[in-house]
């Protein structure tokens, strides 16, 4: 396998031709996120079975051919923890990846190991030792040193071999449709980060009125547009907590706005007229058009719900150990609460519980709903086992006799 650093456009174009012919490529990036609206792309690493190369995006001006390859449905793109790579594809190709495989996610669907870092994954799957990451490197600085390039290339050096082993394993377990569905869910989640409801992920919204939420949405949209126009991280335009604080206070004058805690800074004073305009626009939203939040699953409905959720958590953990799949991928506490409220309390607004759909239903859907319906009994079978609990279906003869 040949390795190199590509700094020439024609060499990069030739590499893209090679990738298309190969049909599969490992992909990673190095970036710096502290200073720009989107993380600044500093290095692209690509590995086929014959070649392992880094591409310098500061020297190769046009990477569009690569983004087109990533977005098509012909070339398999193999990543590790590839959310940032998906974001780049969505931004530069204006389309999602067409044929993505994330080895970190896939490993969690054939073992309980999720999320595994790259070094641990290489050790687990291939029994080899990978280099540590250059976590303190400023990837914007040039020239790159030979050790930097070597470390960067190591991040894709072993990925295709891991992919091969995972595919064979998951195919033999009939779980390929599991990973494909989970990759698509990851892509959809990343795409939603810049969707129309992205503002709803801000912390501290639950106690706000619908009018205050309209103001939050207006300030959030102003902040995002300002960050894009100035190419600065949006939190350096205005912190998340200050977005919420302004919606609570709803100042009407520059003096009122700058009197808010932590807003008496020169950059905020300069932006005050635009912020006030956003606040005024949010306040002008008709009551009927003011936004609302999805129902929160963060708080327990009652002590009973908490107990039932803990019981389901035991059942889910035992089932995941039995099937050798990561519980962190199958379902979280919020997923269990959603199922309890949907199935027990009849709160069936919105999307059905994730645990009852797709591959997750194959793992645990019937088990969990049967536990909730009292059709399953629980006992300890082997305390030394990885899955010591046994959940058994009850029959009519299992009913307790009436007391005499």
Rounded CA gap, 116 and 125, in Å? 11
Buried b (16+ CB within 10 A) or exposed e, 52-66: bbbbbbeebeebebb
Burial class (CB in 10 A: 0-12, 13-18, 19+), 143: exposed
What is the predicted pLDDT for the residue at 140? 95
* Percentage of the chain exceeding pLDDT 70: 94
Q: Which fold has domain 198-289?
A: DNA polymerase; domain 1 (1.10.150)
Q: pTM for this one?
A: 0.89
pLDDT of 404 higher than 50: no
Domain 2-192 matches domain 198-289 at the CATH topology level: no
What is the predicted pLDDT for the residue at 390? 80
- Over residues 141-159, the pLDDT tens digits come to 999 999 999 999 999 999 9
Rounded CA gap, 308 and 336, in Å? 9
Using DSSP, state whether 389 is helix, strand or coil: strand
What is the predicted pLDDT for the residue at 400? 52
For residues 265 and 302, the answer to whether their CB atoms sit within 8 Å is no
Domain boundaries, the chain: 2-192, 198-289, 303-398
* Range in 39-53, 120-134, 180-194 with the lowest mean pLDDT: 120-134
Rounded to an integer, the average pLDDT of 69-96 is 97
Write the CA distances from 204 to 263, 285, 293, 302, integer angstroms: 18, 21, 12, 22
pLDDT of 312 higher than 70: yes
For residues 216 and 202, the answer to whether their CB atoms sit within 8 Å is yes
- Over residues 187-196, the pLDDT tens digits come to 999 999 988 9
Rounded to an integer, the average pLDDT of 234-238 is 95
Rounded to an integer, the average pLDDT of 386-400 is 69
Rounded CA gap, 50 and 22, in Å? 9
Does residue 143 have a cis peptide bond before it, meaning omega lies within 30 degrees of 0? yes
Rounded to an integer, the average pLDDT of 300-316 is 80
- Output the six-digit token pair for 129: 């030792």
DSSP state of 364: I
Nearest CA-CA partner of 371 in 345, 340, 396: 340
Rounded to an integer, the average pLDDT of 323-347 is 92
- Over residues 340-367, the pLDDT tens digits come to 999 988 888 888 999 999 999 999 878 9
Rounded CA gap, 149 and 147, in Å? 5
Q: Which residues pair with 55 in a beta bridge?
A: 6, 44
Domain covering 2-192 assigned CATH 3.20.20.70 in the classification? no
Largest CA distance in the chain: 90
Rounded to an integer, the average pLDDT of 291-297 is 80
What is the predicted pLDDT for the residue at 297? 56
Does residue 115 have a cis peptide bond before it, meaning omega lies within 30 degrees of 0? yes
pLDDT of 47 higher than 80: yes
pLDDT of 397 higher than 60: no
What is the predicted pLDDT for the residue at 135? 64
User: Which is the CATH superfamily of the domain at 303-398?
Assistant: HRDC domain (1.10.150.80)
Q: Which residues pair with 51 in a beta bridge?
A: 2
């Amino acid at each position: 396998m040949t390795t190199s650093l590509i700094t020439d456009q024609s060499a990069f174009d030739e590499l893209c031709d090679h990738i298309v012919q190969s049909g599969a490529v490992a992909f990673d990036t190095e970036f710096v996120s502290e200073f720009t609206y989107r993380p600044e792309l500093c290095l692209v690493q690509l590995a086929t079975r014959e070649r392992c190369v880094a591409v310098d995006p500061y020297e190769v001006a046009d990477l569009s051919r690569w983004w087109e390859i990533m977005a098509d449905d012909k070339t398999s793109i193999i990543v590790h923890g590839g959310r940032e790579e998906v974001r780049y594809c969505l931004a530069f190709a204006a389309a999602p990846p067409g044929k993505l495989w994330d080895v970190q996610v896939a490993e969690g669907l054939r073992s309980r190991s999720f999320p595994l870092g790259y070094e641990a994954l290489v050790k687990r799957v291939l029994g080899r030792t990978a280099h540590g990451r250059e976590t303190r490197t400023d990837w914007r600085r040039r020239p790159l040193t030979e050790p930097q390039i070597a470390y960067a290339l190591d991040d894709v050096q072993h990925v295709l071999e891991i992919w091969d082993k995972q595919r064979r394993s998951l195919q033999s377990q009939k779980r390929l449709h599991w990973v494909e569905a989970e990759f698509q869910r990851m892509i959809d989640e990343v795409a939603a980060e810049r969707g129309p409801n992205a503002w709803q992920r801000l912390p501290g919204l639950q106690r706000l009125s619908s009018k205050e939420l309209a103001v939050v949405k207006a300030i959030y949209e102003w902040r995002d547009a300002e960050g894009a126009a100035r190419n600065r991280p949006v939190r350096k335009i205005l912190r998340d907590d200050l977005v919420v604080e302004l919606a609570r206070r709803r100042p009407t004058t520059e003096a009122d706005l700058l009197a808010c805690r932590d807003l008496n800074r020169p950059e905020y004073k300069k932006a005050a007229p635009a912020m006030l305009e956003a606040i005024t626009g949010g306040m002008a939203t008709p009551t009927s058009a003011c936004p609302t939040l999805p129902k929160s699953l963060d708080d327990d409905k009652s002590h009973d719900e908490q107990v039932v959720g803990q019981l389901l958590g035991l059942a889910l953990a035992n089932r995941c150990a039995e099937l050798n799949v990561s519980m962190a991928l199958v379902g979280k506490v919020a997923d269990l609460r959603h199922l309890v409220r949907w199935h027990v309390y009849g709160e069936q607004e919105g999307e059905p519980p994730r645990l009852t759909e797709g591959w997750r239903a194959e793992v645990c859907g019937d088990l969990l709903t049967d536990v909730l319906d009292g059709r399953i009994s629980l006992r300890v079978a082997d305390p030394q086992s990885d899955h010591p609990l046994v959940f058994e279906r009850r029959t009519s003869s299992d009913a307790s006799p009436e007391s005499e």
